[in-house]
Amino acid sequence: MNQRWALMIAIDNYPKLLAPFQLKGCVNDQELLHQLITARFQFSKDNIDFLQNEKATRENILKGLDRLAGMNEFEGNSPLNQGDLVLVSYSGHGSRLKEPPGRTDERDGYDSTLVPTDSDRPTPHGQGGKNLDITDDELFLRFQRIRQHVGEEGHLLLYFDCCNSGAIQRDIETMREVPQDDRYEDVEREDGFGTRSLDGPSDKGRSGWFPGDKGYTLISGCTKEEKAREYRDPESGKTHGVLTYFFVKELESAAGTLTYRDIFQRAMSNVTGLFSSQHPQLEGEEHRHVFGLDKIDYDPFVRVEERLDERRVKLAAGFGQSATVGSRWTILGPNLADKTVLAEVTIRQVDLLSSEAESTESLPPEIAKLYRAEEIEHAWGDFRTAIAVEGEDTKALERMREKLRDSKLLNLVKKGPVEMIAVRLPPRDSVDPTVDFAPELEVVTEPTWVLVGQDRRLLPLPPHADSEENALADTLYNMETWARLLRFRRLAPTTQDVLGSTFKVKLLCFREDGQHEEFLRDTATGMITLEEGDEIVIQLYHDYPKALFYTGFSVGATGRISPIFYTQSGDALLPSIAIDFYDFDNNRGWPVSLPDTLLEVLPGALCAVKVLISTRHTDFTTYAQAGGRLVDSHPAVVLYDSVQRGARDIEVSTPVAARTLDEAWGVAQVDYYLKRKASL
C-alpha cells in the first residue's frame, strides 16, 4: 500500500540574528498544515518528522532529508517505496549565498538557501559567525534520490513559504528573508554542481529554486525577486505566512477532488489581492490531485475574470494571447477534474489582456470568477492584407484593381483601415510632405507605381514606371511580398506563448577569438542599428525545461523571408545551452547588406531575425505538398504555409490552443535597423 511521508520545518526563532529578523507565523503555518494533512489527507503521524525552532538546525534538517533519501549515514535504508508520496514543507527565512570560486552553476553566482535556526550572518545583521544555510544544490541532491525511491508512480511535493532574493529591505510587514551572504563559508557542503535536472543541467523556474521537471510539484511563496510576507488571521489573531493562510483556507472549504493548480489559483488571487508585489509560484506537475498521486488530463484554458451580466463574461485572454472576435469558447467549472460544459460563448470584444464573450442565452447562475474557458473554434478572419489603390488615372487604377481581385494575399477595400496603399504617382518636380504620397520621391519624370504605408511614406520596395513592360505585375509582386512580411511578422500562437517566452535570440558582433559581443541598442529608439558590412553572430538560448526544435528566418529589407538555420531531424537545442550561428567554414560572421533594389533615397530599412519554435521536429523549410495537403500538419506549419500562399479561410485540424504538448509552438524575434554604409 502506498504511504505518505512528510518532513515539516518551522523556524520563528533565529538566536544569532538581530531582532528585525525574528518571525512569528512559521510554527503556526506548519501546525496548520500538519492538522490538515493528518485529518483529511491520510498522513500518519508516525511518518511525519516535525522540526520546530531550536530543533531545526542545519544538521537535523539534513538528517531528516538524508533519512528519506537514503543518503550518508542512512545510505541504503530509505523507508520509501515506489508509489509513495513525500511532502517537504518549510516556513522560515530564505536567502542567498555566494558560490565558491570555480564552482559557479548559477548565472548570478549565488545559491538560493534555506536558513536553519543556527545559521549566522555578518554584522550588523548577525553575530559574524558561520553561515550554515542549506543551499538549493544540497537540497536538490536529496530530492533526486527521493524521486528515484518513489518512482514515476510516486510524487514529491515541495512547499516553501519563504523568500530567496537576498535583498536587504525593511517594511511594515514581516518579511521571511535575511540578507544574502557575500562570503563563501568553509562549511562542508555537497555542492551538487551540474545536477540541476535528472535530464541534465537546466535553469530554475520563476521561483528561483529548482528546474521545472516531472516527478515533483513546487509551491513557493513568491518569485525569486520578491518578498514573502506574514499575515495576521483576523479571526484567531494568529500570524501566518500569507500564502499558507490562504492555501489552507481554500483546502478546508473546497469540495470534491482538486488539483494543486485549482487550489493555487484561488490562494494566489487572495495573496496578490492583499500584497500586489507578492506572486506565489507553482511549478512542476501542477495537475495532480492535492496530496494525492493521480494526474488529471486537461485541455488548455483561461480563467473567467468576471461575470459581467446574465449573458456576458470577461475572459483572461486578449490581444496578448491572440484572442479574436468571433472565436467560440466553452465554460467549465473551476476544477480540472470537472469536464462538464456549462455554457458556450462567443468573443465579441477584445482588449489587450482580456476579452468579453457572450452567450446566446442566459448563463447558468454558478458561472463566476476562476471558472475555466476553453477555445473550441478560433476565428481567424480574413488572413489577407487590407490595401487601397490611389491615383488620378481612372483607367490605370481600374486595371490595377482588376489584378488585385484575384490575389490570395491582398484584400482590396474601399474604406476602413489599410496596411498598404498602391499609388500611381503623376510626374512632379516638388512635393508637399504634409499631403503628398511618397514625399521621399521629390522628382518623378513619368507616371510611376509606388507602395506606401498608412503614414503615406514610401515602403522599401522598388517603384515601377508605366513605361516598363510588366509594371502592374511587378507592383503586384511587390505588394504580395510585403503582405507576406506583414503576416509573417505577426505569426504567433493564439494562446499564451510559453515556448517563446523562454527562448532568447541575440545579435552579436563577431570576434575571431570567439568572444562575440552583443550589439548595443540606440538610446533614443531602443533599436539595434547595424551598418552594411557588419558581421553578425546569431545566438539562441532557452530555459524551457525540455529540448526545443527551431527554424530561423531572415526578414530582409524589402520583405524577403529566407530560412537561415534550422534543427536537423532528431536534434534539438537543450535548455541552458547557448548556440552561436555564423560562417563556420570561413570563421567569420555573416555580413549584412541592403539589396540593390532598395531606393537610394532611403537611408536604410527595418530587418529582423525570427525563430519559430516547437516541441517536436517541424519542417518549415520544405513545406512541400502532396495531393494538395501539407506533409507536416503541425499547426505552426499550416499557418506558415498560409502566410506564404495566402488564404481567406484557414483550416487547422488541431484547435490552435494546442491540445497536446507535441503540437506546442512559439516564436522569438529580434528586430534591427540596417543602414547604408557611410561614404568615405
pLDDT tens-digit series, residues 178-200: 667 766 555 666 554 332 222 22
Amino acid identity, position 432: D
The pLDDT of residue 198 = 22
Q: Which CATH class is domain 302-377?
A: mainly beta
The band of 294, judged by pLDDT with boundaries at 50, 70 and 90, is confident
Report pLDDT digits (tens) over 27-52: 999 999 999 999 999 999 999 999 99
- Please compute the mean of the pLDDT values over residues 415-428 and round it to a whole number: 92
**What is the rounded average pLDDT of the residues 516-534?**
85
Lowest-confidence pick of 235-244, 261-270, 607-616, 639-648: 639-648
The mean pLDDT of 86-109, rounded to a whole number, is 77
Q: Provide the pLDDT confidence category of residue 146 given band limits of 50, 70 and 90.
A: very high
Confidence of residue 244 (pLDDT cuts 50, 70, 90): very high
- pLDDT-derived band at 657, boundaries 50, 70, 90: very low
The pLDDT of residue 618: 63
pLDDT digits (tens, 9 = 90+) for 447-465: 999 999 989 999 998 899 9
- Note the pLDDT tens digit of each residue in 384-396: 789 999 998 889 9
pLDDT digits (tens, 9 = 90+) for 165-175: 333 222 324 55
Confidence band for 429, pLDDT divided at 50, 70 and 90: very high
**Residue predicted with more confidence, 657 or 143:** 143
**Degrees (nearest 5) of the Cα angle 100, 102, 106?**
70
Cβ distance 350 to 325 under 8 Å?
Answer: yes
Class of domain 4-284: alpha beta
Q: pLDDT of 467-523, one tens digit each? A: 998 899 999 989 988 888 887 777 777 556 678 888 999 999 998 887 899 888 877
**Mean pLDDT calculated for residue range 104-108:** 55
Per-residue model confidence (pLDDT) at position 647: 43
Q: Is the peptide bond before 124 cis (omega within 30 degrees of 0)?
A: yes
The pLDDT of residue 568 is 55
323 has pLDDT over 90: no
For residues 604 and 532, the answer to whether their CB atoms sit within 8 Å is: no
- Position 335 pLDDT exceeds 90: no
Helix (H) or strand (E) holding 361: none
Q: What is the pLDDT of residue 118?
A: 95
Residue 164 scores a pLDDT above 70: no
pLDDT computed for residue 515 by the predictor: 85
Q: 3-state class of 462 per DSSP?
A: coil
- Whether residue 594 is predicted with pLDDT greater than 70 in this model: the reply is yes
Q: What is the pLDDT of residue 182?
A: 64
Is the separation of the CB atoms in 165 and 112 below 8 Å?
no
| Of the listed ranges 234-238, 261-265, 343-347, 666-670, the one predicted with least confidence | 261-265
Write down the pLDDT at residue 486: 83
Other residues' Cβ atoms within 10 Å of the Cβ of residue 6:
27
247-251, 308-312, 397-401, 642-646: lowest mean pLDDT where? Answer: 642-646
Which alpha helices (H) appear in 151-241, and where do they start and end? none
Q: Where are the domains of the chain?
A: 4-284, 302-377, 385-479, 491-675
Cα maximum dimension of the chain: 94
Confidence class of residue 633 from pLDDT cuts 50, 70 and 90? very low
Residues 6+ apart with CB under 8 A from 22: 12, 13, 14
Percent of the chain residues past pLDDT 70, beyond the cut? 79
The per-residue b/e assignment along 242-272, b for 16 or more CB within 10 angstroms, e otherwise, is bbbbbbbbbbeeeeeebbbbbbbbbbbebbe
Range with the lowest mean pLDDT among 6-20, 138-152, 315-329? Answer: 315-329
Cβ density class 628-651: b for 16+ within 10 Å, e for less: eeeebebbbbbbbbbbeebbeebe
- The average pLDDT across 238-252 equals 91
> Residue 480 CA to chain centroid, in angstroms?
32
Phi-psi category of 156—alpha, beta or left, where left has phi over 0 and alpha has psi -120 to 50?
beta
pLDDT for residue 422:
96
Confidence of residue 123 (pLDDT cuts 50, 70, 90): confident
Residue 2: what pLDDT?
86
- Cβ-count burial of 499 within 10 angstroms (0-12 exposed, 13-18 middle, 19+ buried)? buried
Kindly report the average pLDDT of the chain as a whole number: 80
